[in-house]
A and B are shown apart, each in its own frame.
Chain A
Amino acid sequence: MAAIEISGLSKDYSLGFWRKRPFRALDRLSLKVERGEVFGFLGPNGAGKTTTLKLLTGLIFPTEGTATILGHPVGEPETFLRVGYLPENPYFYDYLTPQELLDYFAQFFPLSAEERQRRRDAVLDQVGLAEFRHRPLRKFSKGMLQRVGIAQAILHEPEIVLLDEPMSGLDPVGRHEVRELILQLKAAGKTVFFSTHILSDAEALCDRVAILNRGKLVGVGQLSESLQRQAACEAVLECASPEALSRLQPLAAKPPLVSGGQCRIEIPEKNIPQFLALCQSDGLRLISLNPVRLSLEDYFVEVLRGSDSERPASPSP
């Protein structure tokens, strides 16, 4: 059984006050997240990431399609016994302290008083807020509130953790800690489904990612595969003559770069056999030939551009 299974999920909103116009925030999304995966949900602003997470938590209702978590329909209270959720830019009752907030939320789970207390103390330690447990939340910074949000999401030791922009508002140390936390959850066998704008986090943490653009799924798969598939190889040669370079140039993806007695040249994978043959026939000395991975940013922009060019012009919200 998949951890999360989404099938043809769409969400329409009405925009405008007098003349209502329909706007499709999510368009027939189908996706499967396996148990134990760290799954990244990427996309630009307004792509539909938060809409998807809200649909998965039953905060909004789908226009069409279905979604299940661990085989149960989303929105059923029983499902939330096994799911934790961090909303985007979380806000909590500012008249409470973190300890009071976690005590309050813990009462919604079938746990004994001792167990509630044990878990509360454990998560406060885990997110580094133990020493601030009695400070009112109104005095917390955005980053500290984010940690409180993560604490309440993992309080009941859920099997699936849904995180909406978990790194948002965190300083580099905070981001590092959240990364560590996600890795700890993965090590404990939990499924983590998180949306993010920060591509390096996705690259560092995710087993698989999905890319969403204007409500549509435009790519899904393993990051390493996706980046490798788009790749070329970088060859380093001992400085060749201008004639030899001019013969190599048609095979290269970019103009060769000559410096320090060496020539660096990027060759698309399909041209590599020809390139090697030419090196041999011209007697060029090849120092190294290594695959060049696209940066995730490059890949992301490429996928989004591809999806935009395929899409017929549609009214924007």
Chain B
Amino acid sequence: MRSRQTLAIVLNTFREAVRDRVLYNLIAFALILIASALLFGQISIGIQKTILLNVGLSAISIFGLLIAIFLGIGLVYKEMDKRSLYALLSKPIRRRQFIIGKFLGLNFTLLVNTALMSVGLWAALYYLMRRFEPQDLSVWVAIYFILLELSLVTALCLFFSCFATPVLSAVFTFMAYVIGNFAADIRAFGELTENNLLKGLTTVLYYLLPNFSDFNVSAWVSHGKPVAAEVVLLNTLYALCYDAILVAAAVWIFSRKDLK
């Protein structure tokens, strides 16, 4: 019964997203960008495929990020603000089901969007090369890592949207994303300094914020290099643990919240 209820929230979150026109605009932009990578490839000699994969994977990542933030920041706040939650939470469900359903619903939306954009990338790749090579399979790993990254962004948005306005949630999430992409650099900077306070601060930031740079293998796979299975496993565990912590924190906050 509980899983059926949560599934209903998941599917309704997905339905809400697919009925939003902004989503289609973003997907269309991503596909246009992937198609334009074919043109960039034609003016570069011998590295057409590398250019296509680099631009294509970056487009999937950037537009996925935009969709995740755009939809994620309103996940909880919009329902509280418009009071659509009142009727929903007076049904026999627990608040945690609502949060988990919203999280899974947005992830499902991102999965479908990423799949659509990936089909565009593979079509462009086939148009360019007229065949697929065994090392192209690692492109799927890069796409999988983009999905893991987007699930982290969704969890961050969900967490922030439990207590902040959509604008603040977007700012917080974007800042966490940017800092998280430079997490390793920040830690290295901290190790160079003599200041203990700065060293401590950079270490805390390194461990506190998700390390998004670990998921970025686009440049690596666009040069036809494989990704080790160990990296796939560790990144998967890292993302799952981080998601679980953020969703649990969101549940904790939301379960104690007065819906005024």
Task: Point out residues on A near B: beta carbons under 8 Å.
Answer: 13, 54, 57-61, 77-81, 83-87, 89-93, 95-96, 104-105, 107-110, 149, 152-153
Sampled A-B contacts (20; CB under 8 Å): A57-B90, A61-B256, A61-B258, A80-B90, A80-B92, A83-B90, A85-B86, A87-B83, A87-B86, A90-B86, A91-B83, A92-B87, A95-B15, A96-B15, A105-B87, A105-B88, A107-B8, A108-B5, A108-B93, A110-B1
Contact of B87 among A13, A81, A152 (CB under 8 A): A152
A83 to chain B, nearest CB (A): 7
Name which residue of chain B comes closest to A79, CB basis: B92
Query: For the complex, is B260 an interface residue (Cβ under 8 Å from A)?
Result: yes
Residue ID in chain B nearest A110 by CB atoms = B1
Q: Please determine whether B12 and A59 come into contact, CB atoms closer than 8 angstroms.
A: no
Alpha-carbon distance A86/B8, docked complex (angstroms): 21
CA distance A64 to B181 in the complex (A): 47
Tell me the number of A-to-B contacts counted with CB atoms below 8 Å.
74
A284–B155 CA distance with the chains assembled, in angstroms: 86
Separation of A81 and B84 alpha carbons in the complex (Å): 19
Are B83's CB and A95's CB within 8 A? no
Q: Cβ of B130 < 8 Å from any Cβ of A?
A: no
- Docked Cα-Cα span, A246 to B27, in Å, equals 90
Contact of B89 among A59, A90, A109, A153 (CB under 8 A): A59
Is the CB of B43 closer than 8 A to any CB of chain A? Answer: no
Question: Could you say which residues of chain B place their CB within 8 Å of the CB of A13?
Answer: 260
> In the complex, what distance in Å separates the CA atom of A58 from the CA atom of B254?
13
Q: Tell whether, in the assembled complex, residue B91 and residue A80 are in contact, meaning their CB atoms are under 8 Å apart.
A: yes
Please tell me if the beta carbons of B15 and A87 are within 8 angstroms of each other in the complex: no
Known: A80-B90, A80-B91, A83-B90. 16 other contacts (CB 8 A): A59-B90, A59-B258, A61-B258, A79-B92, A85-B87, A91-B82, A91-B84, A93-B12, A93-B16, A95-B15, A104-B12, A105-B87, A105-B88, A107-B5, A108-B8, A109-B91
Chain A residues with CB under 8 Å of B93's CB are 77, 108
Instruction: Report the interface size class on chain B.
Output: 20 to 34
A104 B8 Cβ-Cβ under 8 A: yes
Contact B92 A109 (CB under 8 A): yes
**Within 8 Å of chain A (Cβ to Cβ): is B94?**
yes
> Is the CB–CB distance between B90 and A95 below 8 Å?
no
B259 touches A60 (CB 8 A): yes
Residue of B nearest to A104 (CB): B12
Judging by beta carbons under 8 Å apart, are B89 and A57 in contact?
yes
B90→A85 contact, CB < 8 A? yes
Residues from chain B with Cβ under 8 Å of A87 in the complex: 83, 86-87, 90
Bound complex: CA of A92 vs CA of B86, how far in Å?
9
Alpha-carbon gap, A58 to B95, bound state (A)? 10
Inter-chain CA distance A85–B12, complex, in Å, is: 21
| Residue of chain B at shortest CB distance from A25 | B260
B131 within 8 A of A: no
Find the B residue at minimum CB distance from A76: B92
Listed from nearest, the 8 A-B pairs whose CB atoms lie closest are A85-B90, A87-B86, A108-B91, A107-B8, A77-B92, A60-B258, A80-B92, A95-B19
A58, A77, A96: residue with the most chain B Cβ atoms closer than 10 Å: A77
Within B67-123, which residues are at the interface with A (CB < 8 Å)?
82-94
Q: Are A93 and B84 in contact (CB under 8 A)?
A: yes
Residue on B with the closest CB to A13?
B260
Chain B nearest CB: distance from A23 CB in Å? 12
| Candidate in B88, B90, B92 with the most chain A CB atoms within 10 angstroms | B90
